[in-house]
Amino acid sequence: MQIQSYMREKAKLVHQALDDYTAGLEGIPSVLKDAMRYSLLAGGKRFRPVLVLATVEALGGNTQQALPFACAIEMIHTYSLIHDDLPAMDDDDVRRGMPTNHKVYGEAHAILAGDALLTEAFGIMARAAGETGVAPEVALALINEASVAAGAKGMVGGQVDDLLGEGRTVTLAELESIHHRKTGDLIAFSVRAGAMVAGADEVALAALTRYAYRLGLAFQIQDDILDVIGDAVLIGKPVGSDEANQKSTYPALLGLEESKKRLNEITEQAKNAIIGHDGINPERLLQIADYLLARDR
Amino acid sequence: MQIQSYMREKAKLVHQALDDYTAGLEGIPSVLKDAMRYSLLAGGKRFRPVLVLATVEALGGNTQQALPFACAIEMIHTYSLIHDDLPAMDDDDVRRGMPTNHKVYGEAHAILAGDALLTEAFGIMARAAGETGVAPEVALALINEASVAAGAKGMVGGQVDDLLGEGRTVTLAELESIHHRKTGDLIAFSVRAGAMVAGADEVALAALTRYAYRLGLAFQIQDDILDVIGDAVLIGKPVGSDEANQKSTYPALLGLEESKKRLNEITEQAKNAIIGHDGINPERLLQIADYLLARDR
């Protein structure tokens, strides 16, 4: 199967699970359910949950055991997008080709829909042990890692520094530190979740973690490049918004050509991290890295 | 020991643990740490974590094992206050006698400080098994219950309906449904966390859960009453704000005298739920119920 088809199939699996789960939430205000589902089911690449599933397969693990973690990660990612888009933060009106959550449901409901998605994510992970047979110790370790990756040391801290950096030129080291926390930690957690559910040993886990951080950085550089040269229709949001928001980006700091060169190097580093390891069948993960390099949205 | 001293002592224990934990957070932006600590360490009654500790003691359990859950609950409670106070929600300027979080740190940082506190809370609970010897299955069950109590079915859903009810008169049944979710579920979770850490059986757990929901409702009725007849200096926020915000309250729906009568009845129901059970030493929990009835802040 081609990598595009593979990713589409996995994304569909995750989408269906998220749809089923949120449709089944009973006893909650309908506007809250609508607001949660609006952003959660808006589509998107499902890059993080697909990584969870591809990693568990690369290690010969059980996809059904990994699915709750894949869904939880997408819920955490979606909550972060809803909050980042708020007027008090990035003040974005369009996301994935649709009005942002607060534009449709108002700020209060957007904040609360984000809060609810984050909170549900931890419940889904906590129930995974009982429902799918993941070892309780593994589920607890993953809940802890999710908290660190998404919390003050990880994603939230990265967003704070990202906001603080607006309007001034940050150094390349600062920019990479922001990306490491704002997107890298959750991408690394996605790969680690798949690996830990599959029972990866420490050596494989370290290799896959390095792959994930390099992949996350490549993903971010490509995002920055697409904001300069991409097609707004494909991306689903206006291009040039980074420059308009005075965001520091790779093209702004290094220029477009140097950014592309760096994207290629880092993608190679990601791939090299997982080649030649016993117990890792790297094919799909290598294809995902190449796919990201070539993506136009 | 008098109940006031007992509650002060337990509140101090929790405060110290929260102070130590957040002071030890390394590698996070200083403004984020400051914003988190500003609200978390602002004082308050520490009612929920004190309930956790009093319940674990009522069952002869281990306070140290319950402490991480007590801290997590206070972090969840604090995050909810920060978000509820935002301009898009209740738009409050003063809380516990101090400017609200967004008044000091701005809306973006207030949203993110709330997000971070919620996220950290789940990490603290996940690590409790490894660090204090709580059984992994118990930790997972509590993380799941926390997610339900704080999420779309519980606290967040209650806040959505609370906002939807502003400016119109809700029925008593609607009001109690809002309180049940907005404050009751987290108070019930506090008692259940103490009970489950102490290994309570199903009968004791059911009795304590009923106690907690009645206590939570009494707490809310007293809150409403204090907003009418209380002393703004003691409460730490302006009185009369419910009426100004057109919030439905017990005094508004039932009148002040009938509200006081109902407060007394519900407090008695709370106490009766836990009297005469094998394995529950109810003394402190009964005193806490009486203390809440008589409180002036």
Please tell me the distance from the alpha carbon of residue B162 to that of residue A223, in angstroms, as a whole number: 40
User: Which residue of B101, B131, B137, B156 is the best one to mutate when testing the A interface, meaning the one whose CB has the most A CBs within 10 A?
Assistant: B156
| Shortest alpha-carbon distance between residue A154 and chain B (Å) | 8
| Shortest alpha-carbon distance between residue A25 and chain B (Å) | 8
Is residue A96 packed enough to be buried (19+ CB in 10 Å), middle (13-18) or exposed (0-12)?
middle
What local confidence, expressed as pLDDT, does residue A237 receive?
67
SS3 B99: strand
Please tell me the distance from the alpha carbon of residue A25 to that of residue A7, in angstroms, as a whole number: 27
Q: Inter-chain contact A83–B112, Cβ cutoff 8 Å?
A: yes
| B180 near A CB under 8 A | no
User: Which residue of B37, B115, B120, B177 is the best one to mutate when testing the A interface, meaning the one whose CB has the most A CBs within 10 A?
Assistant: B115
- φ/ψ region of B263 (left if φ > 0, alpha if ψ in -120 to 50, else beta) reads alpha
Please tell me the distance from the alpha carbon of residue B118 to that of residue A199, in angstroms, as a whole number: 29
Half-sphere exposure of A269 (CA within 13 A, CB side): 15
Tally DSSP H helices, then E strands, for chain B: 16, 2
Tokens of B86: 């935002």
CA dihedral (A190, A193, A199, A205) in degrees, to 10, reads: 50
Chain B residue closest in CA terms to A154: B28
| B77 near A CB under 8 A | no
Q: Inter-chain contact B152–A33, Cβ cutoff 8 Å?
A: yes
φ, ψ of residue A29 in degrees (nearest 5)? -55, 135
- Closest listed residue to residue A125, CA positions, set A177, A70, A63: A70
What local confidence, expressed as pLDDT, does residue B91 receive?
94
Residue A98 belongs to what H/E stretch? strand A98-99
Q: Inter-chain contact B120–A152, Cβ cutoff 8 Å?
A: yes
| A23 near B CB under 8 A | no
Q: Inter-chain contact B144–A127, Cβ cutoff 8 Å?
A: yes
What local confidence, expressed as pLDDT, does residue B99 receive?
97
Chain B residue closest in CA terms to A181: B28
- Closest listed residue to residue A182, CA positions, set A34, A77, A29, A70: A77
What local confidence, expressed as pLDDT, does residue B124 receive?
98
| Shortest alpha-carbon distance between residue A137 and chain B (Å) | 6
pLDDT > 90 in chain A, percent: 85
| A163 near B CB under 8 A | yes
Three-state SS string over A223-279 comes to: HHHHHHHCCHHHHCCCCCHHHHCCCCCHHHHHCHHHHHHHHHHHHHHHHHHHCCCCC
A120 vs B contacts (CB less than 8 Å):
147, 151-152
Please tell me the distance from the alpha carbon of residue A176 to that of residue A66, in angstroms, as a whole number: 29
Residue B94 belongs to what H/E stretch? strand B94-95
What local confidence, expressed as pLDDT, does residue A124 receive?
98
Q: Inter-chain contact B119–A118, Cβ cutoff 8 Å?
A: yes
A25 vs B contacts (CB less than 8 Å):
152-153
Spatial contact of B85 and B35, defined as CB atoms under 8 Å apart: no
Chain A residue closest in CA terms to B181: A28
Task: DSSP letter for A62, please.
Answer: -
Please tell me the distance from the alpha carbon of residue B12 to that of residue A6, in angstroms, as a whole number: 55
| B148 near A CB under 8 A | yes
Please tell me the distance from the alpha carbon of residue A10 to that of residue A8, in angstroms, as a whole number: 6
Residues A14-62: pLDDT tens digits?
999 999 999 999 999 999 999 999 999 998 889 999 999 999 999 999 9
Tally DSSP H helices, then E strands, for chain A: 16, 2
- Closest listed residue to residue A206, CA positions, set A220, A217, A195: A195
What number of C-beta contacts closer than 8 Å exist between A and B? Answer: 163
Q: Inter-chain contact B153–A28, Cβ cutoff 8 Å?
A: yes
- Closest listed residue to residue A11, CA positions, set A48, A62, A38: A48
Q: Inter-chain contact A29–B144, Cβ cutoff 8 Å?
A: no
What local confidence, expressed as pLDDT, does residue B234 receive?
66
Inter-CA distances, B88 with A57, A108, A119, B118, B154, Å:
44, 5, 20, 19, 20
User: Which residue of B30, B107, B119 is the best one to mutate when testing the A interface, meaning the one whose CB has the most A CBs within 10 A?
Assistant: B119
Q: Inter-chain contact A32–B146, Cβ cutoff 8 Å?
A: no
| A190 near B CB under 8 A | no
A151 vs B contacts (CB less than 8 Å):
116, 119-120, 123
Which has the minimum average pLDDT: A24-38, A81-95, A161-175?
A161-175
What local confidence, expressed as pLDDT, does residue B246 receive?
72
Question: pLDDT tens track of chain B, all 297 residues?
Answer: 799 999 999 999 999 999 999 999 999 999 999 999 999 999 888 999 999 999 999 999 999 999 999 999 999 999 999 999 999 999 999 998 899 999 999 999 999 999 999 999 999 999 999 999 999 999 999 999 999 999 999 999 999 999 999 888 889 999 999 999 999 999 999 999 999 999 999 999 999 999 999 999 999 999 999 988 877 666 666 667 777 667 788 999 999 999 999 999 999 999 999 999 989 999 999 999 999 888 877
B156 vs A contacts (CB less than 8 Å):
32, 112, 115-116, 119
- Closest listed residue to residue B274, CA positions, set B264, B259, B285: B285
Q: Which of residues 87-126 of B touch A (CB under 8 A)?
A: 88-89, 106-109, 111-112, 114-116, 118-120, 122-126
Model ipTM over 0.90:
yes
User: Max alpha carbon distance in chain B (Å)?
Assistant: 53
Residue found under tokens 């568990």: A56
| Shortest alpha-carbon distance between residue B280 and chain A (Å) | 28
